[in-house]
Chains A and B, each alone.
Chain A
Amino acid sequence: MNNVKIVYEKSKGLTDKHLTYCPGCTHGIIHKLVAETLVELDLLDHTVGVSSVGCSVLNYDFFNCDMQQAAHGRAPAVATGIKRVKPNSIVFTYQGDGDLASIGIAEAIHAAHRGENITIVFVNNAIYGMTGGQMAPTTLVGQKTTTSPNGRDPKTQGLPLKIAEMMATIPGATYVERVSVHNPAHVRKAKKALMKAFTIQKENKGFTLIEFISTCPVNWGMTPKDAVDWAVDNMIPYYPLGVYKDTTEGEK
């Protein structure tokens, strides 16, 4: 046992609490990436995270930093409140698509509009997970949910909202990227996006939002493997990955 070499360990940015997420859900990967980013940039002790309402509501127990739990959709406002009085702290929100794209769209847009120096981690799984699989603004056309039992009909329910594209149009935003965590290569890319976003915040360069394409095997009614495949085949074509805005481009 003397020659045991640690090749992988859980990030110190996470606590030892058991995650409450369903098997196969990609929230766990995204938590790991956020935690690793904060540790690697040496920001953990200076960070306040803001939990939202939805599947990730309990993540004030999971991230190993100061945390505030926000009302549904209000995380960017809470983050604004914190950051303005503690400008040297790193502040991020972690929000799902019901929380950010529906009830909290105004708070998200105006945090970007004011150019708040915060980072939003936005997890898009095209459904309300916590409440049992209702239709979200991001639910795909034809996708069946408990409140669109015949599939989302654009005639009465509109077309899915493209958050990264929309946030990129806001003059006050600094960096907006959409990533996915469906395979190791993309997990690494997603990590790079988070590193970039938190570095921008550390350097006081303004508002950053990283949208994650995520899965919800339980409410989609699929195995974890099928859910990942469904995200690749259906979500990514509608929600293309990439950098949508980067005002730091060309900067050294």
Chain B
Amino acid sequence: MSKVLMKGNEAMALAAIKAGCEAFYGYPITPQNELPEYLSKHMALNGRVFVQAESEVAAINMVYGAAGAGARVLTSSSSPGIALKQEGISYMAGSELPAVIINVMRGGPGLGGIQPSQSDYKQITRGGGNGDYYLYALAPETLQEAVDLIKEAFDIADYFRNPVMIAVDGLIGQMMEPVDLDNKIPAWDLKPKIWAADGNRENRERNIINSLYLDPADLEKHNFHLKAKYDEMRKNHQRYELVNMENAEIAIVAYGSVSRIARSAIEILAEKGIKCGIVRPITLFPYPINAFREIPASVKNLLVVEMSTGQMLEDVKIANECRLPIDFFGRVGGIIPEASEIVEKVLEIIGGEKHE
């Protein structure tokens, strides 16, 4: 199909409809409001459910109920709202319920601001709520990639019976880009949801959706069962992109909007005769440590660039396994790093421009 020019939040909403999302439960918060606004009209047009809940806490628990009844469910929010949703997200991970959660990140802590940010990295990758769990977390850099990943995210959630987080920043939510909504996505082997507690019990035993295990031996078994899923994600489902790595002397590590700015930076650097690559994580969990093992020997330094004070930096240090020196550059508070600032930082690290 041909491309259409759409605003990020609306394109992401339409992608969910294309993916067969049956219900959306959410609560208003900037900068993601166009997403529920779009769905409030288009879900009804498609005979599906849209509910504006009384709070983020209620919204995520509605997602829990609908997912527990076997439906494909979506919610979206932004950083402080995602913080409120952590209760329900933890319960969903514990009860093994699939759902897609879109986080259009803004600055924090507290009420913070409404401009783009990546300061929810830890909230997204370190569980966020109580207990031993992870979300499969995807961080697209373009609207096209966001649309494609959202469509696939519903399958990934169903496959793992685990919530999937789409981590974008306010920039992706608010900007307009041409997108093809009918791109083919990878196929996942999905089984019927025979576990759903949906009140349709003609030919089966009753189903229970639950995360309570009062016997420590039972809970430990459950925790190890969940860990096996996360290990499977780590082993086989890391996603990343390596850009311009051949003979590169330095590589930028960046995800989401920042990796696009890094793409501009490496072009400027190329004009100056400097070969700079990019390591772009697409999954924030599982963190793509395999990408770091593929970095060629020519690379002598890593520069992590984020719209945070260095939340992903810790994962880069783990993945780097002390091989390369790591520098960091971050802009925060809703300020987006300029390509020229990244170039300047690279030059500082490698000791100035090369004139051969």
Contacts and interface: CB of A to CB of B under 8 A. Distances in A.
B212 A70 contact: no
Residue among A48, A60, A88 facing the most chain B CB atoms (10 A cut-off): A48
B193 to A, nearest CB: 12
B166 interface: no
Interface residues of A, number: 39
B63 A81 contact: yes
Interface residues of B, number: 40
Nearest to B202: A45
A189 interface: no
Given A74-B57, A78-B62, A84 B200 contact: no
A228 to B, nearest CB: 29
A106 interface: yes
Contacts of A71: 61, 64, 87-88, 91
Interface string B41-85: 000000001010111011101111111111101000000000000
B206 A64 contact: yes
Interface in A3-29: none
A85 B201 contact: no
Contacts of B25: 80-81
B198 A106 contact: no
B68 A82 contact: yes
A57 B70 CA distance: 22
A51 B206 CA distance: 15
B326 interface: no
A90 B211 CA distance: 22
B65 A78 contact: yes
A107 B61 contact: yes
A84 B23 contact: yes
Nearest to A91: B199
Contacts of B54: 106-107, 109-110, 113
Contacts of B73: 81, 85
Nearest to B196: A66
A69 B58 contact: no
Interface in B300-322: none
B198 A84 contact: no
Contacts of B61: 70-71, 74, 77-78, 81, 107
A199 interface: no
A106 B55 contact: yes
Contacts of A50: 65
Nearest to A44: B201
Nearest to A87: B49
A71 to B, nearest CB: 5
A68 interface: yes
A89 interface: yes
B155 interface: no
Contact of A66 (B23, B64, B87, B199): B199
B65 A79 contact: yes
A48 B209 CA distance: 10
A65 interface: yes
A71 B55 CA distance: 15
Given A66-B206, A107-B54, A110-B53, A77 B201 contact: no
Contact of A57 (B23, B49, B212): B212
Residue among A45, A51, A88, A90 facing the most chain B CB atoms (10 A cut-off): A45
Interface string B186-229: 00000000000111111000111111100000000000000000
Contacts of A77: 53, 57-59, 61-62, 64-65
Contacts of B22: 85
Interface in A23-78: 45-48, 50-51, 57-58, 60-61, 64-71, 74, 77-78
Nearest to B62: A81
A86 interface: yes
Nearest to B88: A71
Contact of A80 (B62, B88, B199): B62
Contacts of A48: 69, 197-199
B201 A45 contact: yes
Nearest to A76: B58
Contacts of A69: 95, 208-212
B174 to A, nearest CB: 29
Contact of A82 (B53, B69, B210): B69
Contacts of A80: 25, 51, 53, 58, 62, 65
Contacts of A83: 65
A71 B64 CA distance: 10
Given A48-B69, A67-B206, A74-B61, A84 B199 contact: no
Contact of A84 (B51, B58, B68, B207): B51
Residue among A47, A82, A107 facing the most chain B CB atoms (10 A cut-off): A82
A65 B69 CA distance: 13
A48 B67 CA distance: 13
Which 5 pairs show the lowest CB-CB distances between chains A and B? A81-B65, A89-B199, A81-B62, A78-B65, A77-B61
Interface of A: 45-48, 50-51, 57-58, 60-61, 64-71, 74, 77-86, 88-91, 106-107, 109-110, 113-114
29 contacts: A45-B201, A47-B199, A48-B69, A60-B210, A65-B201, A65-B206, A66-B208, A68-B64, A68-B69, A69-B209, A74-B87, A77-B53, A77-B58, A77-B64, A80-B51, A81-B63, A81-B73, A82-B65, A82-B198, A85-B22, A85-B23, A85-B49, A86-B69, A88-B199, A89-B69, A89-B198, A90-B199, A107-B54, A109-B54
